[in-house]
Amino acid sequence: MLTIDNLRVFNIRGGGLHPVLVELSTRDGIKGYGEAAVAYGIGANAAAGMLSDLAHKVVGQDATYPRNIWHEIYDNSFWTKGGGAIVFAALSAIDQALWDIKAKSLGVPVYELFGAKFESSLEVYANGWNTDHDDAMEWAKAAERPLKDGYTILKCYPLATRQEGGTLRHVQRRSLSTEEFKRAINRVRALRKVVGPDISLMFDLSGGLNNDQLIRFMDVCTELDVTWVEEPVDPFNIQGLRNFAGRWPIPIAAGERVYTRQGFRNLLETGGIDIVMPDVGNCGGIFEAVQIAAMAESYNARVSPHNCASSLCTAATVQVWAASGMGMPLETYPYFSDANDYVQVLANPPEKAVVKGRLAVPTDPGIGAEINLEAVNPFRCFDFKADA
């Protein structure tokens, strides 16, 4: 048995991010790690608290059977059914750590437990490369850095504005001013001019625009040969996806704020989604993401996992990508670590291993992550240990 005898939570702050990590330890000394993917926005303290609330359902259980523990939590915690970001971020972190333990106990990577390694390396794309500029042309010229670093696929937030501290402020009350809308159009046109015709571009709209501005913006995206547009409508606006299905020859992506197979089934049934984006750190975990990817295939949709968190979540996401047959390029934020107070939670961050826009699928046991304990230990906030 792989009996769990301790659950530990790290509530990390640094570099404008706030990753929440969980460490599960077994009686025979195997440690597994996972991340609750609420490293941006609001919710880190709540996710850390949710992990502490769920600890008694995990400690004392056998990590040999991660799905048993997943269902014990899902079926018997009440607010999990129909729940949202916080409860599923916590459950996702626990699930990652359980699969990490199980795979380590067998001496294999997590993807081998799902019987697949479709590729030995994967394409990745760069996000987070242009938060320092509001001027349209300077905003676009920021793309020169990831291009120089070998990335050929870029994603960005053309509608957002920069806030103090470098974070982004997205569209407010469903509309942009005339000036803001013109700036967004100028940004994307300038960006295509800067990068040329052969670089893939994706635009994340963060579910912000009203219909009339969205229609006009999407028409411009069609001119620019955009690879996909992400979250064109609010995640609650399922009917909006149905209404716009097939209107533009641009793939539509969504899913970072959708949870479990049930949530993604509802998304796919709109007929308005071409690319699903489950986040391993909040969709329900590793196995849930694998199942979501399999379900997407039955709808002829592709999968590009959402990933905006610490390097631990990147490592876990690579495991899911390797086991999923419809994988598209994986999201990375290669420049998070530029911030002076950034906390690098891994000794072997995948982002530093990217070469010419590709990342090798690791063969190390578990999720392939070596935790930087010196960096994370100061942020330890909770321990729940089994009775002796």
DSSP sequence for 285-313: -HHHHHHHHHHHHHTT-EE--B--S-HHH
Mean pLDDT of 67-78: 97
Q: To the nearest whole percent, how much of the chain has pLDDT over 70? A: 99
> How do residues 180-216 score in pLDDT, each as one tens digit?
999 999 999 999 999 999 999 999 999 888 999 999 9
**Is pLDDT above 70 for 19?**
yes
Q: What is the pLDDT of residue 31?
A: 99
**Is pLDDT above 90 for 66?**
yes
**Is pLDDT above 80 for 168?**
no
Mean pLDDT of 103-130: 96
Nearest to 268 by CA among 299, 242, 240: 299
Q: Which residues contact 43 (CB under 8 A, 6 or more apart)?
A: 85, 86, 89
Count of other CB atoms within 10 angstroms of residue 148: 8
Mean pLDDT of 301-317: 97
Q: What is the pLDDT of residue 388?
A: 54
Count of other CB atoms within 10 angstroms of residue 95: 29
**Is pLDDT above 60 for 64?**
yes
Confidence of residue 348 (pLDDT cuts 50, 70, 90): very high
Q: To the nearest whole percent, how much of the chain has pLDDT over 90? A: 88
**201 vs 259: CA distance, rounded Å:** 26
DSSP sequence for 161-180: EE-TTS-EE--BTTB--HHH
Q: What is the pLDDT of residue 130?
A: 85
**328 vs 305: CA distance, rounded Å:** 8
Amino acid at site 60? G
Nearest to 264 by CA among 233, 226, 290, 243: 290
Mean pLDDT of 2-8: 98
Domains of the chain: 4-107+372-385 (3.30.390.10), 113-360 (3.20.20.120)
> How do residues 121-153 score in pLDDT, each as one tens digit?
999 999 999 877 778 999 999 999 999 999 999
Q: What is the pLDDT of residue 339?
A: 87
**313 vs 47: CA distance, rounded Å:** 15
| Residues 280, 96 contacting (CB under 8 angstroms) | yes
- Mean of per-residue pLDDT scores for the chain: 94
Phi-psi label, residue 62: left if phi above 0, alpha if psi -120 to 50, beta otherwise: beta
Confidence of residue 251 (pLDDT cuts 50, 70, 90): very high
Query: Angle 385-29-7 (CA atoms, 0-180°, nearest 5)?
Result: 30
Confidence of residue 223 (pLDDT cuts 50, 70, 90): very high
Q: What is the pLDDT of residue 131?
A: 72
Higher pLDDT, 166 or 387: 387
